[in-house]
Amino acid sequence: MIYKVLYQENATQVPVRENTKCLYVEAESEREVRAKLKDRAIMIEFVQLLEGAHLAYEQASEDYKVEQ
């Protein structure tokens, strides 16, 4: 399954919407996504499962790269 992760690069600052970035992670569950990203110094805002038309839409983006 593919998850979209919205995050802030600086975990010590207050989140600002304009600084939110996203990445795509292949995992079996949201828990596994968070475990894969725990060693990074980022603040995870939201983890969303991508399926169907939403996944197809995200795959059409030029920024779409899945991390294993």
Beta bridge partners of 22: 6
Is the Cβ–Cβ distance between 49 and 30 less than 8 Å? yes
- Stated pTM of the model: 0.88
pLDDT digits over 12-60, tens only? 888 888 989 999 999 999 999 999 999 998 999 999 999 999 999 999 9
Instruction: Report yes or no: 11 and 27 within 8 Å, Cβ to Cβ.
Output: no
Q: What are the extents of the domains in the chain?
A: 2-60
Q: Which residue has the tokens 């970035």?
A: 21
Residue 19, helix vs strand vs coil = helix
* Second CATH level (architecture) for the domain 2-60: Roll (3.10)
What confidence score (pLDDT) does residue 13 get?
85
pLDDT for residue 68: 78
Nearest to 45 by CA among 29, 65, 64, 21: 21
